Amino acid sequence: MTSLFSPLTLRGTTFRNRLWVAPLCQYSVEKRDGVPTDWHLVHLGSFALGGAGLVMTEATSVSPEGRISPQDTGLWNDDQRDAWARVVSFIRSQGAVAGIQLAHAGRKASTARQWDHHRGTWSPEDGGWEPVAPSAIAFDGYATPRALDASELAGIVADFVASALRALDSGFQLIEIHAAHGYLVHQFLSPLSNQRTDEYGGGLENRARLLLEIVAAIRAAVGTEVPLLVRFSATDWAEGGWDQEQTATVAGWARDAGADFFDISTGGLVSGVRIPLTPGYQVPFAEFVHKTADAPVSAVGLITEARQANDIIESGQADAVMMGREMMRDPHFAWRAAAELGVELGYYPPQYERARWSYEKRASVSAGAAKPAVPAPREPATEDSA
């Protein structure tokens, strides 16, 4: 058994392996009502069928105004809860853990999908809404947000808690708080977007206050058995911004408040930054947080090969690997990775048994047989595209 395919347990949940599906925004809600559709069932279900240990949803908003786009999923009402239950049931039936990423987009809300012929923020006249943020500072090319009053923040914490409880009612086994990629919680963490002068701005403790309140409130609401993750961008890639040292410090505080595990990505707060795109370019940030905060972490970012993923776990750089684009290219990547690493797994779906990757096929790949071409790296879209 390789490190990548060894089980991992967090609180009351055991993951069959450490090859996990990163949150992948789909912008595919048909009626703009936050209700997941058949697209989400097939998209997420295919990863569970393909052998992943954890299948995480896209960034799912805790309120209507917290959506990135009008086509985002949500979990602020019972219709959404019931639709998610169908998706979760299938994920779990295939042996994968079902996780949900709860989010609020803040100043990056009410925006167009990548393939829409529109750039920036949708106006209320066009079906959008007014975005909010810690400070009235716009993301490049987007509308200037309204700065949140301190009295409104308790409501945002309550929205996260209510969505977390609906997630459990839907059957989700894990909850992740989205504090990365330039969305609301990240906006509070970074001094580049948070210029408040009250108890939620200024020093690191104040900038981390909203996140820690969300963590503590969700932990109190969901009890002791549910794993609670936080996704961080470990750096803004910008001078004077959020960095790995602050990330490690706040991760330690979040662990004390009730978080169990940290999903480490980077970027998304500001545009125009230079990012050194090489295979596994974000893994050193995960390793830094892992060692500095003495906390379990996952790594993500241009991880595309089975051996590469296994080496990250085996070397102790991270406890799990999140994969996004490679999973979209091959939802059954886990089965291929197991064969390439010489691992015989006991949870191959019997319907696909006749198509099982054999050791003979693995040997032919190792000997240089043609493999699908992987697109060249490009500047990453940080809207949870991994």
Q: Are 191 and 246 in contact (CB under 8 A)?
A: no
**How is residue 193 written in tokens?**
């977007």
Q: Is the dihedral of CA 131, 135, 140, 143 positive or negative?
A: positive
CB neighbour list of residue 164: distance below 8 Å, 6 or more residues apart? 102, 175, 218, 221, 222
Q: Out of 183, 200, 348, 352, pick the active-site residue.
A: 183
The 10 Å Cβ neighbour count of residue 246 is 19
CB neighbour list of residue 14: distance below 8 Å, 6 or more residues apart? 7, 8
How many Å apart are CA 215 and CA 203, to the nearest integer? 19
In DSSP notation, 317-371 reads S-SEEEESHHHHH-TTHHHHHHHHTT---S---GGGGGGPPPHHHHHHHHTT---
Phi/psi at 297 (5° precision):
-140, 165
Quick check: helix, strand or coil at residue 90?
helix
The 10 Å Cβ neighbour count of residue 301 is 27
How many Å apart are CA 311 and CA 288, to the nearest integer? 16
Whether 27 is a known active-site residue: answer no
| Amino acid code (one letter) for 166 | R
Strands (DSSP E) contained in the chain are 8-10, 13-15, 19-21, 54-61, 97-103, 132-133, 146-147, 174-179, 228-233, 261-265, 297-299, 320-323
Write out the catalytic residue numbers: 183
